[in-house]
Structure 1
Amino acid sequence: MSRRAVALMVAGSLTLLLALCAALLPVPYVALSPGPTENTIGDVQGKPVISISGHQIYPADGKLSLVTVAYQGGPDNRLDLLTALRGWVDSTIAVVPEEAIFPRTSSIQQVEEQNTQEMTDSQQSATAAALNALKIPIQESISVAETDKGTPAEGKLKAGDEITAVDGTKVTTLDAVAAGVQKHKPGEPVTFSVQRNGAPTQVTINAGKSQDGRTMVGVRMQTTYKFPFKVDISVGDVGGPSAGMMFSLGIYDKLTPGSLTGGVSVAGTGTIDPQGDVGPIGGIEQKMVGARRAGATVFLTPGANCEDAVKAVPKGLRLVKVTTLDDAIKALDALRAGSKDLPACPAS
């Protein structure tokens, strides 16, 4: 074999080896793909997704499925370049910068904890929205989520404290608590009446001053709800707030006679607040693909996501535009009645 042939063989082998090594190099991207679906009026691993006790429930058929996005990659398990390239050419996968999912300001554990908390909050809001839609009274209260380090409230107010009054004035909203604090100047005492572990107590805190000069004590609050009966939601390892609307529909369906879907396989997505307003979510393209793969023919789409959804809707999936829980219920009522006049995402 000539020297030239040997040189070409060696060069080719080295080029191939370098290409293989480059393809296996980790890159700071995350691949988002269609995730599993769960029927909110069905079971998962033999257990109802939504369990209600203390109130009459009714059988439901069809499907009201929440949809998810699976991800591959992340700071502790980065994608290799070859996997990222495959994702870039696959229309059902979105390859996004790692920081879009895992901000540099947060650890992986913090991101996971936030997703878990958002799921918990969405379940509370979903239950409140469904009961409000049914005109079932619920009680709201204000509780302490956490206190900021180095602020006057640290060590005085505790997570779980229910704030009932500020300076003797009853409060039932977050704004009312904030207004009570803002009546004071920095350095003045603010007295909170709280329920702590079921017992009433008073906590007096000398107010501080925020960077923008406002009076503050350094407490983060949240609205909590007391429902007249028990609603449990179990979906396993799913995080984030985007299943809120579908939880609400599942609860509503179980608490009302008849079938909300009329036996149709319906999927959807969207955040929800206690008043029933539906908000946008991320990963709409992947969620639609997951819904269609699971057999859904109707997809309840947040109005703010319509523009992106119409560009990537899979064949056989009908988009129905919703902005409130009431919109979704009315659309399903119309669908069950055989109406073809449903609010649709407008074509771009």
Structure 2
Amino acid sequence: MPPALTAPKTRALGLCGALVVALFAVAAFAPLPFTLTQPGVTADTLGTYQGRPVLTITGAPLRVTDGQLRATTISATNAGERITLKQAVDGWLNEDEAVLPTDVVYPEPDPADAVQETSRQMTESQDAATTAALNYLHLQGGQVKVTVDLGDIGGPSAGQMLTLGIIDKLSGNGHGGDLTGGRVVAGTGTVDDQGRIGAVGGVPLKTQAAARDGATVFLVPAQECSDAGVNLPPGLQLVPVTTIEESVAALNALNSGAPVPHC
């Protein structure tokens, strides 16, 4: 090749290389429509959260309970905050994090609407949990009043554990003992008025939060068994359930040494 053409070609290649590097640099820090999620806080529905009782029940005698029934959560970047490619790659490589489409985590695109929606879901979940628990115990709602305070926790996924907390405080296992058998039991799942337990998502992160906070048993919606087995912490027993009746029966089976469903 003639020497006169070598220098321009070298400069052109160098310029192209610089542009490619610049494009990758921009892409690495450009916001993407994904949300970074991590194991969140857990809250004992038999105890307190942020210094206040989670369950306040009037109109019926209450039991002194042992053990814990922990509702689990995930922590997510804010609704209006998008992560970068670098954060996404780091999240995909980290077992303690998950990268999800933002519209899955926050169906409401406006951050204010997203907060309002999770608050509404929590209120509905609390009402359903109270109704499900009282129906299970054959008690009248007008007679027994239940107030739930989970602070800044939103969404519907605490339903199952709230329901079990109400049942344990009012009746226990029905034979004078605790539902927990003195264990730290965690779980997740929506609940409706009839006590049916529904899927919630984010279970692999919630099992990590549960194990971190001392749980040895995790009550999981049966349809999410396969998800719950992903990166399952050692020593955490998965128990699949579809109704509150099944949850109570499984806990009683654990306490008596009887066989318990498993994923």
Q: Which residue, out of 82, 102, 109, partners 2:112?
A: 109
What percentage of aligned pairs have identical amino acids?
Answer: 43
Q: How many residues align?
A: 253
Q: Which residue, out of 184, 189, 210, partners 1:265?
A: 184
> Residue in 2 aligned with 1:242?
157
- Distance in 2 (alpha carbons) for counterparts of 1:11 and 1:59: 72
Report if aligned partners of 1:73, 1:79 keep a CA contact under 8 Å in 2: no
The alpha-carbon distance between structure 1 residues 332 and 103, as it changes in their structure 2 partners (threshold 3 A), is closer
> Residue in 2 aligned with 1:83?
87
> Residue in 2 aligned with 1:344?
262
**What is the TM-score of this pair, normalised by structure 1?**
0.66
Q: Which residue, out of 138, 148, 153, partners 1:233?
A: 148
Are 1:42 and 2:59 counterparts?
no
Instruction: Indicate the SS of the match to 1:258.
Output: coil
> Residue in 1 aligned with 2:64?
59
Range 109-118 or range 29-38, more displaced: 109-118
The alpha-carbon distance between structure 1 residues 50 and 297, as it changes in their structure 2 partners (threshold 3 A), is same
> Residue in 2 aligned with 1:190?
none
> Residue in 2 aligned with 1:255?
170
In structure 1, runs of 5+ residues without a counterpart are: 1-6, 139-226
Question: Runs ≥4 in structure 1, deviation > 6 angstroms?
Answer: 7-17
- Distance in 2 (alpha carbons) for counterparts of 1:98 and 1:261: 36
AA partner of residue 238 (structure 1): I
CA-to-partner distance for each residue in 1:114-143, whole Å, 9 max, x for gaps? 2111110111110111111111123xxxxx
> Residue in 2 aligned with 1:97?
101
CA-to-partner distance for each residue in 1:42-100, whole Å, 9 max, x for gaps? 112322111112221011111100000111254x2221221111001112322122222
Higher strand share: 1
Higher helix share: 2
Report if aligned partners of 1:29, 1:73 keep a CA contact under 8 Å in 2: no
CA-CA distance at 1:287 after TM superposition: 0.9
Q: Which residue, out of 67, 71, 74, partners 1:69?
A: 74
Instruction: Indicate the SS of the match to 1:336.
Output: helix
AA partner of residue 70 (structure 2): S
> Residue in 2 aligned with 1:118?
121
Report if aligned partners of 1:299, 1:318 keep a CA contact under 8 Å in 2: yes
In structure 2, runs of 5+ residues without a counterpart are: 1-11
Report if aligned partners of 2:50, 2:151 keep a CA contact under 8 Å in 1: no
- Distance in 1 (alpha carbons) for counterparts of 2:157 and 2:136: 19
Instruction: Indicate the SS of the match to 2:37.
Output: strand
CA-to-partner distance for each residue in 1:241-282, whole Å, 9 max, x for gaps? 111010000000110243211111100011111111111111
